[in-house]
Amino acid sequence: MSNIGAYNERIREFDWSIAEKELDYSEGNIINIGWYCSDRICLQGKGDRVALFWEGFGGNEKQFTFNDIRVASNTIGAFLRNLGIKEGDRVCLFMDRIPELYLSFLGVLKIGAIVQPLFSAFGDESLHVRLENAQTRAIITQRKHLSKVRKILDLLPWLEHIIVVDYDNRKPLQKNEVAFSLEDAEPVDQCEIFPTKSESPSVLHYTSGTTGQPKGVKHVHYSLISQYLTTKWVLDLQEDDIYWCTADPGWVTGTSYGIIGPWSMGITQAVLDTGFSAEAWYRFIEKYNISVWYSAPTAIRSLMKAGDELVKRFDLSSLRHLASVGEPLNAEAVLWSEKVFNKPFLDSYWQTETGSIMITNFPGMKVKPGSMGKVFPGITGTVVDPKTFEPFTEPGKVGLIAFKPGWPAMMRTYWNNDEMFRKKFKKGWYLPGDRASLDSDGYFWFIGRDDDVINTGGHLVSPFEVESALLEHEAVSESAVVAKPDDVNMEVVKAFVTLKPGYEPNNELELKIMNFIRKKLSPLAMPQEIEYMETLPKTRSGKIMRRILHAKEWGEEIGDTSTLEEDE
């Protein structure tokens, strides 16, 4: 029997107080995610249960019980407090998927500070704009990422503490740097938990838009209510499950469902901190008896490419429930997983701003392969006319996905950008920026983004950010960036550039520009293809017309070009 039971009954009788009761929370009480994910589980008598099986490079393994993560997060919290970090301060986590990343997440929350997780593959420019925007006071990182932090430190007057979790005494620490070793630190058994309330800020995730710099999405401790219940009903985690969320906590899936959801339920999770290989992933599932697996379409399609025969070499019979998020899961991938794992990957839809799953295929529900599924109980979602923002009355029409605000994990604002936050609402609907249709059974069908943001491997990349970075390359005069279709990643970044006089368009320069962006922004943002142009299509006032380049890549009609060389 699945946790959700009968979907229609849940819809009829739904109230978020279901989660509040299960979490012993009442309005006005203290609610601290760090405490809920560790101390509370120990108070329930589950302190000896394994919270984390961790495996890194070279077969390096560690495991932590719930009591271990309680004490470790206390220890980290106390260390930060001693440095002077206080409630409301932003603390960036800039680490690979090592245990300290997960434990620091709880430790920062326990002292009332705000966690700012950032993907460790970000280059120095990506790191700089996000730390500057958040006025981050401390960053917890590893030796291998220190050079990126050092490069931008002088641009960040608020960054007072750089905490290195794996310092080995080989090279001297530099300005603002301090070593912290969880293994050597005196364990702190009792830590005063900061009395955060429902609206106290908790996590600040950064996401990209079409224009402007990345935006900091502010979440609050009350998000736990949504994250707990969606984990329970959608991911269907049960007492004896071993759960694997393959997402990196630098992105929202990795925190909402890679930390908060499973640990607030007291569920054991496993983390693999190595690069991707189909064989390594199957071996990991077999070794740890993974029963619930939450992954992404890009990874699933990569597994498909590795072939069916490889799957047969492993005992994957522990798998009970599979789910997917990040971009739409194509029907072929759903059918393939039914064939090789004897169960489908169930697609789910949500985004950084929503904080928790909004539309999904539930356990036990009829799956329509290629569909996003139905709304989570308690969520009012529909498809609205893009011109009037009124819901369509007939099924099958393509419009904008829209949600009535008010669920617990909804972002509270964009950091220092209320104006942008307000623009996300039209006629009382929150618009996530995606197009879809809704069929007569209430299933949503994804069409695409409603803007120029590129969804590559489930991660959003801002064309503006890449275009700006390209202009910093000595050879580039002008740039335009669009999505290009891709079999595995759904979309990848493609750049069109014109060159400055004296530079020859050749393959060697293309590679140099690719690597320049990879190091400055991130591998995700690196154009996988660069096309040299004599001129870029522009309006009369000089605005580059991305839509023409986008249409070219997607083999679409360019449409009305009368505005070419004219202002749109």
Partner 1 sequence: MEEIKDVVLNYVIEEYLEEDDEEITYDTPLISGGIVDSFSMVSLKRFLENEYSISIPDEKATPEAFDSVNKIVALVREFTG
Of 433 and 523, which CB lies nearer to partner 1 in the complex structure?
523
| Encoded tokens for 248 | 């990196």
Q: Could you say whether residue 214 binds partner 1 (CB under 8 A)?
A: no
Judged by CB, which is closer to partner 1: 344, or 457? 457
CB 53 to partner 1: min, Å = 18
Token pair 């009954």: residue: 9
Residues 6+ apart with CB under 8 A from 517: 466, 469, 470, 525, 526, 527
Pick the binder of partner 1 from 135, 238, 302, 563 (CB under 8 A): 302
The residues in 153-212 that bind partner 1, with binding defined as CB under 8 A, are: none
Distance of CA 66 to the CA centre of its chain: 24
- We find the least distance from the C-beta atom of residue 144 to partner 1, in angstroms, to be 4
Nearer to partner 1 by C-beta: 294 or 516?
516
* List 508, 557, 560, 567, residue binding partner 1 (CB under 8 A): 508
Q: What secondary structure letter does DSSP report for 439? A: -
151 binds partner 1 (CB under 8 A): no
Helix (H) or strand (E) holding 103: helix 99-110
Nearer to partner 1, 340 or 398 (CB): 340
Binding residue for partner 1, selected from 152, 523, 538, 553, defined by CB under 8 A: 523
Q: Is 417 in the site for partner 1 (CB under 8 A)?
A: no
Beta carbon nearer to partner 1, 80 or 299 = 299
Q: Please identify, among the stretches 102-110, 144-152, 312-320, 352-360, the one whose residues bind partner 1 according to the rule CB under 8 A.
A: 144-152
According to the binding rule CB under 8 A, does residue 368 interact with partner 1? no
Is the CB of 168 or the CB of 186 nearer to partner 1? 168
Interaction between residue 507 and partner 1 (CB under 8 A): yes
> Which region, judged by CB under 8 A, interacts with partner 1, from 209-217, 287-295, 397-405, 511-519?
511-519
To the nearest whole angstrom, how small is the minimum distance from the Cβ of residue 322 to partner 1?
Answer: 21
Which tokens go with 366?
A: 């009829």
Q: 359: part of which helix (H) or strand (E)?
A: strand 359-360
Q: Which segment (318-326, 419-427, 432-440, 508-516) binds partner 1 by CB under 8 A? A: 508-516
Looking at residue 251, the DSSP 8-state letter turns out to be: S
CA distance 258 to 246: 8
The Cβ-side half-sphere exposure at 221, using a 13 Å CA radius, reads 31
Q: Does 333 bind partner 1 (CB under 8 A)?
A: no
- One residue of 278, 398, 533, 558 binding partner 1 per CB under 8 A: 278
State the residue for tokens 């320069």: 509
Query: Under a CB-based contact definition with an 8 Å cutoff, are residues 280 and 52 in contact?
Result: no
Find the part of the chain contacting partner 1 (CB under 8 A) among 67-75, 258-266, 322-330, 519-527. Answer: 519-527
Measured CA to CA, the distance from residue 105 to residue 513 in angstroms comes to 35
| Span of 61-69, 312-320, 372-380, 502-510 interacting with partner 1 by CB under 8 A | 502-510
Out of 318, 417, 528, 539, the only residue in the binding site for partner 1 (CB under 8 A) is 528
* CB contact at 8 A, 23 and 264: yes
**Cβ at position 277, least distance to partner 1 in Å:** 4
Residue 147 binds partner 1 (CB under 8 A): yes
DSSP 59-86: G-EEEEEHHHHHHHHHHHHHHHHHHT--
318 binds partner 1 (CB under 8 A): no
Buried b (16+ CB within 10 A) or exposed e, 16-50: bebbbeebebeeeeebbbbbbbbbbbbeeebbebb
Q: Are strands 114-117 and 215-220 parallel, antiparallel or unpaired?
A: unpaired
Query: Judged by CB under 8 A, does residue 514 bind partner 1?
Result: yes
Q: Would you say the C-alpha torsion 424, 427, 428, 434 has a positive or negative sign?
A: negative
Residues 86-115 as x/- pattern, contact with partner 1 by CB under 8 A: ----------x-------------------
Among 46, 128, 145, 161, contact with partner 1 (rule: CB under 8 A): 145
Buried b (16+ CB within 10 A) or exposed e, 386-424: eeebebbeeeeeebbbbbeeebbbbbbbbbebeeebeeb
Q: Which of 11, 193, 306, 398 binds partner 1 (CB under 8 A)?
A: 306
Give bridge partners of residue 141 from the DSSP assignment: 94, 164
143 binds partner 1 (CB under 8 A): yes
Are the beta carbons of 139 and 90 closer than 8 angstroms?
Answer: no
What 3-state DSSP class applies to 323?
strand
What is the enclosing helix (H) or strand (E) of 125?
Answer: helix 124-134
Three-class SS of 492-541: EEEEEEEECCCCCCCHHHHHHHHHHHHHHCCCCCCCCEEEECCCCCECCC
Q: How far is the CB of 185 from partner 1 (least distance, A)?
A: 21
Minimum gap (Å) between residue 514 Cβ and partner 1: 5
Give the interface size with partner 1 as a residue count (CB under 8 A).
Answer: 33
Residue 521 dihedral angles phi and psi, to the nearest 5°: -105, -75
* Of residues 44-83, those binding partner 1 (CB under 8 A): 57
Of 235-243, 276-284, 381-389, 407-415: span binding partner 1 (CB under 8 A): 276-284
385 binds partner 1 (CB under 8 A): no
**How near is the Cβ of 515 to partner 1 at its closest, in Å?**
6
Chain residues in the site for partner 1 (CB under 8 A): 57, 96, 121, 143-147, 273-280, 302, 305-306, 456-457, 489, 507-508, 510-511, 514-515, 518, 523-524, 526, 528
